[in-house]
Amino acid sequence: MMDLTPDRLVEMYGCMRLIRRFENKVVEMVNTNEIPGTTHEYVGQEAVAVGVCAALREADGITSTHRGHGHILAKGGDPRRVMAELFGRADGYNRGRGGSMHIADLALGIYGANGLVGAGTPIACGAALAAKREGRGRVVTSFFGDGAINQGVVHEAMNLAAIWKLPVVFVCENNSYAITASIRDMLAISRIADRAAAYGFPGEQVDGMDVLAVHAAAARAVAWGPDVKAPPLGAGATLPGKEVFVDLARLIDVEAEIARKRQELEKLDWLVAAKRKKLANEDFVARAPEAVVNKERESLKELEQQHASTSAVLDQMVALEVPRKADDA
Ligand SMILES: Cc1ncc(C[n+]2csc(CCOP(=O)(O)OP(=O)(O)O)c2C)c(N)n1
Ligand SMILES: [Mg+2]
């Protein structure tokens, strides 16, 4: 458990609870349209953000993803200011202008959540270059999902971190899916962590459901810095970069996702039928002003398009729902 005192463990547990409660509340308020825009919740991945951030010092930095609330809270973000940002309020982290996917706070070393998959990795390299020049031993951790691993920019960032020996910790949160794309269809090797060897720095795979295992791996990665002579993990003395790959393979409940999509489709079925019925009513078409009828026709067209795309996504999800392999259990 390394340097984790009982108080620290309680603090980490409290932070995971805070993230879970925060996110559940967000879902509730998104569903009632109180929160505008799009949000992606971190429910189920709490142990990753908390395990990693517990290994960071206040001065260390992070870059986050489209699923960033958990990272920000774990890095010391004030839940009230994060929530205010989601509401678009002036007392939010970015005066309500950024919303869920752009929360940043330089004072806390949070160099931004990011709506672009993989885009946090080069930002982390830039921040790490600054940290290296500063020479105080700060590190920058870049969180990204399994959906980012085939992005060109992630490859470039990892290679740059390696050749420039930047103090970056790359944390891949592998929850098996990038929306509907299964990791099994996107990767020919079984462990994302094995890619680290190609860049020339060590990669570790840890169970993302185990906060202590995540913390220990992150602490090992963070411990190697420009001011540390001997790198851990038995790698070469010129070891550049650091990498922790977190495996959350047990996280996604595909069946529940499919059930939710089916419900959405049923609602759209009903809305399309109701709109068609209205437009089939000759009395309504004859009496209502032309502009009103045209608006109804446009709205029917939009609903039909929405129905078609939801139906296509559902078909894709059903097709992708491959039985889990025994070793995933
Ligand atoms: C460059 C880019 N391509 C596509 C998208 C659309 N998009 C949003 S989230 C997402 C999937 C991300 O999956 P992953 O990185 O595994 O994160 P997860 O949602 O599983 O946490 C995609 C493709 C995007 N935001 N940015
Ligand atoms: Mg994913």
Domain count, the chain: 2
The tokens for 178 are 């990038």
13 and 95 assigned to the same domain? yes
The answer, yes or no, to whether residue 227 has pLDDT greater than 50, is: no
What's the CA gap between 67 and 99, in Å, rounded?
12
Distance between Cα 91 and ligand 1 center (Å): 28
The answer, yes or no, to whether residue 321 has pLDDT greater than 80, is: no
Would you state the pLDDT for residue 246? 59
Residue type for 290, please? E
Provide the pLDDT confidence category of residue 244 given band limits of 50, 70 and 90. Answer: low
Would you state the pLDDT for residue 239? 30
Domain for residue 1, yes or no?
A: no
Mean pLDDT of all residues in 168-194 = 87
Tell me, using a 6 A CB cutoff, whether residue 177 lines ligand 1. yes
Atom of ligand 1 nearest to the CA of 117: 26
193 and 310 assigned to the same domain? no
With contact defined as beta carbons under 8 Å apart, do 169 and 242 qualify?
yes
| Structural domain of 67 | 6-247
Provide the pLDDT confidence category of residue 202 given band limits of 50, 70 and 90. Answer: confident
With contact defined as beta carbons under 8 Å apart, do 26 and 73 qualify?
no
Tell me, using a 6 A CB cutoff, whether residue 215 lines ligand 1. no
Ligand closest to the CA atom of residue 113: 1
Atom of ligand 1 nearest to the CA of 116: 26
Cross-strand pairs, 247: 174, 207
Select the more confidently predicted residue: 109 or 241. Answer: 109
What's the CA gap between 118 and 171, in Å, rounded?
11
Tell me, using a 6 A CB cutoff, whether residue 115 lines ligand 1. yes
239 and 273 assigned to the same domain? no
Select the more confidently predicted residue: 177 or 61. Answer: 61
User: Per residue in 251-260, pLDDT tens?
Assistant: 445 677 788 8
Select the more confidently predicted residue: 316 or 132. Answer: 132
100 and 221 assigned to the same domain? yes
Atom of ligand 1 nearest to the CA of 148: 15
Chain mean pLDDT for the chain: 85
Residues 6+ apart with CB under 8 A from 296: 275, 278, 279, 288
157 and 300 assigned to the same domain? no
Domain C-terminal end among 194, 223, 247: 247
Cross-strand pairs, 63: 142
User: Per residue in 71-118, pLDDT tens?
Assistant: 999 999 999 999 999 999 999 999 999 999 999 999 999 999 999 999
Neighbours of 226 (CB within 10 A): 15
Q: Where are the beta strands (DSSP E) in 192-325?
A: 203-207, 242-247
121 and 141 assigned to the same domain? yes
What's the CA gap between 266 and 125, in Å, rounded?
46
Query: What is the 3 state secondary structure string of 74-106?
Result: HCCCCHHHHHHHHCCCCCCCCCCCCCHHHCCEH
Would you state the pLDDT for residue 233? 30
The CATH number for 80's domain is: 3.40.50.970
Residues 6+ apart with CB under 8 A from 234: none
Residue of minimum CA distance from atom 23 in ligand 1: 178
Tell me, using a 6 A CB cutoff, whether residue 179 lines ligand 1. yes
235 and 262 assigned to the same domain? no
Tell me, using a 6 A CB cutoff, whether residue 148 lines ligand 1. yes
What's the CA gap between 284 and 297, in Å, rounded?
12
304 and 191 assigned to the same domain? no
Mutational test site, ligand 1, from 114, 179, 253, max ligand atoms within 8 Å of CB: 179
16 and 153 assigned to the same domain? yes
16 and 134 assigned to the same domain? yes
Domain for residue 308, yes or no?
A: yes
204 and 271 assigned to the same domain? no
Would you state the pLDDT for residue 328? 40
Domain for residue 183, yes or no?
A: yes
Domain for residue 274, yes or no?
A: yes
- Residue 84, phi-psi category: left (phi > 0), alpha (psi -120 to 50), beta (remainder): alpha
Domain C-terminal end among 211, 227, 247: 247
Mean pLDDT of all residues in 132-150 = 91
Domain C-terminal end among 191, 220, 247: 247
What's the CA gap between 171 and 145, in Å, rounded?
8
What's the CA gap between 114 and 104, in Å, rounded?
9
Provide the pLDDT confidence category of residue 240 given band limits of 50, 70 and 90. Answer: very low
The answer, yes or no, to whether residue 150 has pLDDT greater than 90, is: yes
268 and 151 assigned to the same domain? no
Give, as residue ranges, everything with CB less than 5 Å from ion ligand 2. Answer: 145-147, 175, 178
DSSP secondary structure letter of residue 105: B
Question: Which of 47-61, 62-76, 233-247, 275-289 is least confident?
Answer: 233-247
